[in-house]
Amino acid sequence: MMADNSTNPTTGNYANINGIKMYYELHGAGSPLVLIHGGGSTLTTTFGKVLPFFAETHLVIAVEMQAHGHTSDRGVPETFKQDADDIAALLGLLNIDKADILGFSNGGQTAIEIGIRHPGRVNKLIIASAFYKRTGTPAGFWTGFENPKFSDMPQIYKDEYLKINNDPAALMNMFNRDVQRMHTFEDWKDEELKSIRQPVLVVIGDQDLPLPEHAVEMYRLFPKGRLAILPGTHGSYMGEAMSWGTNSKIPQLFVSMVDEFLTGL
């Protein structure tokens, strides 16, 4: 694993991590906070609205995972375990012993795996809009992965990807990687979540993909679990790309809530 000081026109860096050229950005200063985007997304589509606020009080390490955004593919299926190992390896490369981890949607599932596989790297976890078992989603969600259609992928995700990497074949590869991971999704065992001893904040919107009842069930499994259910849909409470253009103050409330959790809530 070696750092690569080459940059893109923004503030990006690349690191050779476990067979991929992994893209990451560093913003701000202070205690380290890793931001892990959702499936089909980039760090900007997930965290573009809240990243500047977090950078006021943290060293933000915003990453793009295998086959997403600027980061290359390794030629094998995505797994949450591998993504967790990639984050841990990047922290090691950056000489960061421990960090707070905030993962949204699929990134939240990667955060769960980091807590299980690499507890020594974690101060606190924020698991946003994620579920840990199939029954945590509305009826019918999983049928969409039986016959997935590229046309169903939100256009804003396609457009943002192609702005970064104008390669339709790579975009389709990312789509197929994400679909396969969901198609083969396996529940975590309750005991695995109970093994995470670090403080964990579970966050969802009240009209999110994960069901509120599931969020309650999940946070109670963590020995040091906390729960927040905010008004909003999947990621709208953090200003995720599907909700851009609104004047909501909820994303700033989300940032304040996370900051308070990280500093002792």
Residue range 46-97, pLDDT digits in tens? 999 999 999 999 999 999 999 999 999 999 999 999 999 999 999 999 999 9
Q: How many other C-beta atoms are found inside a 10 Å radius of the C-beta of residue 139?
A: 7
What does the alpha-carbon distance between residue 128 and residue 258 come to, in Å, rounded to a whole number? 11
What is the share, in percent, of the chain residues with pLDDT greater than 90?
Answer: 89
Taking all residues of the chain, what is their mean pLDDT, rounded to a whole number? Answer: 94
Mean pLDDT of 188-210: 97
With DSSP H G I counted as helix, E B as strand and the rest as coil, what are the percentages for the chain, rounded to 5? 40, 20, 40
Confidence band, pLDDT 50/70/90 cuts, at residue 141: very high
pLDDT of residue 8: 36
124: Cβ contacts below 8 Å, ≥ 6 apart:
100, 101, 198, 199, 200, 201, 261, 262
pLDDT digits (tens, 9 = 90+) for 101-121: 999 999 999 999 999 999 999
185: Cβ contacts below 8 Å, ≥ 6 apart:
134, 142
Buried b (16+ CB within 10 A) or exposed e, 170-194: bbeebbebbbebbeebeebeeebbe
Mean pLDDT of 20-48: 97
Regarding predicted confidence, which is higher, 147 or 9? 147
What does the alpha-carbon distance between residue 154 and residue 135 come to, in Å, rounded to a whole number? 24
Helix pair 106-117, 80-93: axis angle to 10 deg: 70
* Cα separations in angstroms, 140 against 75, 102, 108, 111, 145: 30, 28, 21, 25, 10
Confidence band, pLDDT 50/70/90 cuts, at residue 5: very low
Confidence band, pLDDT 50/70/90 cuts, at residue 147: confident
Multiple choice CATH, 2-262, 3.40.640.10, 3.30.70.890, 3.40.50.1820, 3.40.190.290 = 3.40.50.1820
Find the helix or strand (DSSP H, E) in which 136 lies: none
End-to-end CA distance of the chain: 36
Could you tell me whether strands 122-128 and 200-205 are parallel, antiparallel, or unpaired per DSSP bridges? parallel
Whether the per-residue pLDDT at 10 is higher than 60: the answer is no
Mean pLDDT of 230-240: 95
What does the alpha-carbon distance between residue 232 and residue 182 come to, in Å, rounded to a whole number? 23
Whether the per-residue pLDDT at 206 is higher than 60: the answer is yes
Regarding predicted confidence, which is higher, 7 or 118? 118
What does the alpha-carbon distance between residue 201 and residue 125 come to, in Å, rounded to a whole number? 6
Find the helix or strand (DSSP H, E) in which 107 lies: helix 106-117
Mean pLDDT of 242-260: 90
